[in-house]
Amino acid sequence: MTTAERRASQSLAGIFALRMLGLFLVLPVFALEARHYPGGSDPALIGLAMGIYGLTQAVMQAPLGLASDRFGRKRVIVLGLLVFAAGSLWAALAGSVHALMAARALQGAGAVSAAATALLADLTRDAVRTKGMALVGISIGLVFALSLIVAPPLAARVGLPGLFGLTAVLALGGVLMVLWWTPPEPARSQTSASVPRARLADVWRHPHLWRLYLGIFVLHTVQMAMWSVLPALLVAAGLPKAAHWHVYLPAVLVSFLMLGTLFAMERRGQMALAQRAAIALLLLVQWLLYFWATRGPGIWLLGALLLLFFVAFNVLEASQPSLISRLAPVPARGAALGVYNTLQSLGLFAGGALGGGLLKAFGAQAVFAVAGALALLWLLLGWAQPMPKAPPLSQQQPATGQ
């Protein structure tokens, strides 16, 4: 990577980290703390207050991605972070679960993932873009692990309002990072300032992108469905809830080491093999969890399966947006990544609903059976996924700002 590419990757990873840390700090304690609000006796209302963020985010990803193509990436990112900060401040001042629900909806409306990912794609060359995307994924994984450790004691000191207030401060920190650290975005002439009105429909129907849209939806549906069962399996294996990070953190950290293998395979033109292997590994984990779900798996087995899951998840999370940015027409890059992030958000919502419904109606094995079926469908339909080959670094012009 050039100095500018490293700066772009680090700054945008930092923006993602600050925003996601605010979200992740709330999630481990939201369901418990929200019970103290008026209306908190209704579990369905609390669940809706948690999940509505994903719905509004899914609705806004594609429009804001399209807006970043027309009006500039940084403007959209700053606007989205300000909206997210406003929603966080509203949540900090909320006096009921209904107010929390409205505030969470406003938080989700500040959906900047598509614009930020598109800016990273604009500022990096094809041959190093997966590294940049992987750095974003690593930052998100690390703040997720950090939140599992610090959220409970922090909530005990400042409560849910304090956590939301901290979230607003972190979002404003992201705004400063965009303005002062992130390199300038490429000149509008390089990214086609004139945008056809039909572009959003075009990227939905693009012949090479739909498999990637399907893939990110399946990946996050499987992830959320798994987590409707895994905490109970860990408790049943003898690990109390407060100690679950003892399993999550090592699995996440060790899985990051495997990203070096992804980069090596990409340099050798083996991205198709890496993709298929990661999807197959995801499928294997679901099958093994299906087999062991009713047999009382021990801590070590669950830890090993979580490690395999995070290896597959991190490879796919790093490579998928990189492929989107290469396969999409450059003027439609933000729109394509907006559709991609929309399907990601819908996958999170669908996985939670599907996992909870299957667990209640049919038990833990049904969750892993359906998750495995989705992974198998992805593997079969994605087998013919086109894999663009980046030219050697010596033939690529370094990405520069205006």
Residue 400 lies in a domain: no
Query: Cβ(283)–Cβ(222) under 8 Å?
Result: no
pLDDT of residue 395 exceeding 50: no
Write down the mean pLDDT value for the chain: 80
Range of the domain at 376: 205-385
pTM, 2 dp: 0.72
Question: Quick one: average pLDDT of 215-220?
Answer: 90
Q: Are residues 145 and 290 in the same domain?
A: no
Residue 283 lies in a domain: yes
Nearest to 76 by CA among 87, 60, 91: 60
Q: Are residues 116 and 212 in the same domain?
A: no
CA 101 to chain centre: 21
Q: Are residues 173 and 265 in the same domain?
A: no
Q: Are residues 90 and 58 in the same domain?
A: yes
pLDDT of residue 363 exceeding 50: yes
How large is the angle between the packed helices 126-180 and 73-93, nearest 10 degrees? 60
Q: Are residues 104 and 251 in the same domain?
A: no
Sign of CA dihedral 9, 20, 249, 365: negative
CATH number of the domain within which 238 lies: 1.20.1250.20
CA 227 to chain centre: 15
Q: For 160-205, write each residue's pLDDT tens digit.
A: 899 899 989 989 998 999 998 888 887 754 444 444 444 556 676 6
Predicted local distance difference test score (pLDDT) of residue 102: 93
- Max CA pair span of the chain: 62
Higher pLDDT, 86 or 190: 86
Q: Are residues 176 and 209 in the same domain?
A: no
Q: Where are the beta strands (DSSP E) in 197-342?
A: none
Q: Are residues 147 and 181 in the same domain?
A: yes
CA 174 to chain centre: 17
Q: Round to whole Å and give the CA distance between 202 and 251.
A: 39
Q: Are residues 111 and 209 in the same domain?
A: no
Q: Are residues 182 and 295 in the same domain?
A: no
Q: Are residues 180 and 229 in the same domain?
A: no
Q: Are residues 33 and 179 in the same domain?
A: yes
Element spanning 226, H or E: helix 210-227
CA atoms within 13 A on the CB side of 366: 10
Q: For 29-78, write each residue's pLDDT tens digit.
A: 776 677 888 887 776 677 678 778 878 888 888 788 888 888 888 999 99
Q: Return the number of other C-beta atoms located less than 10 Å from residue 101's C-beta.
A: 21
Structure tokens at 83: 């909206």
How large is the angle between the packed helices 73-93 and 97-109, nearest 10 degrees? 170
Q: How many domains would you assign to the chain?
A: 2
Q: Are residues 126 and 254 in the same domain?
A: no
Residue 200 lies in a domain: no
